[in-house]
Structure 1
Amino acid sequence: MSSGGLQQEIKKKLPFDSLEQEANLNILRTNDQMQNRFGRFFRTYDLTPSQYNVLRILRGEGKPMPSLEIGERMIQVVPAITGLIDRLEKRGLVCRRRCEEDRRVVYVDITPDAKKLLKRIDKPLMALHKQLCGTLTQPELKELSRLMEKIRAGLNTM
């Protein structure tokens, strides 16, 4: 889309007040559309994106993790990590156990059923990632990631 694409897309009559406003609204609009696509994708596996994220973190770690640490590693901040883990546990995708040394700490582990589910998801999810960013070249993808990281670094100093 050419410059001014968002303005036309949302049928905004007047120009944006600033380039910053236009950039932020572009990020928000793109995020909304991507969230919708990821949400639909994960629904076909009876998961939410946040539930998938928990399972992805546990598989990547390869050992039980404290629930609070899982929460810190999430792509999207989830205010109720306990409820999220409750739902996964009810489905038999994670199991919990209390730490013997500190009863306040709860360890969460991924189950074999969850690993099988993730294995089914891996290839179709990679295809979705490629589809969603398929209009960008490899250098553009690297630049996009660099710019998003730069924005987040600035947010962390506020």
Structure 2
Amino acid sequence: MTNAPHNKENGLAAEIGKRTPFTSLKQEAYLNLVRTHEQLACQFARLLKQHGLSDPQYNALRILRGEGKPMQTYQIAERMITSQTDISRLVDRLEANALVERERSAEDRRVVWVTLTKQGSAILKKLDQPVADLHESQFAAFSDDQLKSLTKLLYAARKSEE
């Protein structure tokens, strides 16, 4: 028998070949979050890439669809899942791909309204089922109660930093 760590019993430590214990449970939890995010996000990014979108572009399109009416760029930025430092450039790319349209306000030329186009709506509709299927497969091992607990814990982790 070798001195190799047990794969299942040691969780993340075994996955990454860590030979010494984590310095704390908090460190282990953080690294588990990072590792899990990387795996899940990579699968999601691959799906979106097949449709010519990035994660932030998809998120912006979903925000516009959910609002159901034109929004200002800063409003989209406020609702993004990941912070978007250059929302204008993101909207530029969406506009260049005919997924959104921009229109200046007649009352205040500084205000720009962004609207989801029919093409943008169509690509979202095309992605709805594949995205739902991906989420289903990514979390298939969890019960509804476990998912509710996970959601509460992740929310609490974000709020502990405020």
Q: Same fold (TM over 0.5)?
A: yes
Report what 2:72 is aligned to. Answer: 66
Q: Distance in 2 between matches of 1:4 and 1:146?
A: 25
Q: Give the unaligned 5+ runs of structure 2.
A: 1-6
Mapping 1:72-91, distance limit 5 Å:
72-91=78-97
Q: What is the CA RMSD across the aligned residues, in angstroms? A: 1.2
SS of alignment partner, residue 46 of structure 1: coil
Q: Tell whether 2:19 aligns with 1:13.
A: yes
Instruction: State the distance in 2 between where 1:129 and 1:13 align.
Output: 33
93-102 or 81-90: which moved more? 93-102
Whether 2:37 is the aligned partner of 1:31: answer yes
Structure 2 SS opposite 1:96 = strand
Aligned-pair identity in percent equals 44
Distance 1:42 1:117 in 2: 10
Q: Unaligned stretches of 5+ in structure 1? A: none
Matching residue's letter, 2:20: L
Q: Do the aligned partners of 2:8 and 2:14 also contact (CA within 8 Å) in 1? A: no
**TM-score, length basis structure 1:** 0.95
Q: Report the Cα offset of residue 2 of structure 1.
A: 5.0
Instruction: Specify the code of the residue in structure 1 equivalent to 2:36.
Output: T
The equivalent of 1:54 in structure 2 is 60
Displacement after TM superposition at 1:99 (Å): 2.1
Aligned pairs, how many?
156
Q: Match of 2:102, SS?
A: strand
| 1:150 is aligned to 2:156 | yes
Secondary structure of 1:136's counterpart equals: coil
> Secondary structure of 2:160's partner?
helix
Counterpart of 2:124 in 1: which secondary structure? Answer: helix
- Of the three residues 86, 99, 117, the one matched with 1:111 is 117
2:127 partner SS: helix
Larger Rg: 2
| Deviation for aligned residue 1:3 | 5.4
Greater than 4 Å deviation, 4+ residue runs: none
The equivalent position to 2:106 in structure 1, one of 96, 100, 103, is 100
- The 3-state SS of whatever aligns with 1:108 is strand
Provide TM-score, normalisation by structure 2: 0.93
1:141 counterpart = 2:156: no
Cα offsets for 1:97-127 (capped at 9, x unmatched):
1223332221100001111111111011100
The CA distance in 1 between the partners of 2:121 and 2:130, in whole Å, is 15
Q: Which letter does structure 1 place at the counterpart of 2:41?
A: Q
Q: Contact 2:102–2:112 at 8 Å: present in 1 too?
A: yes
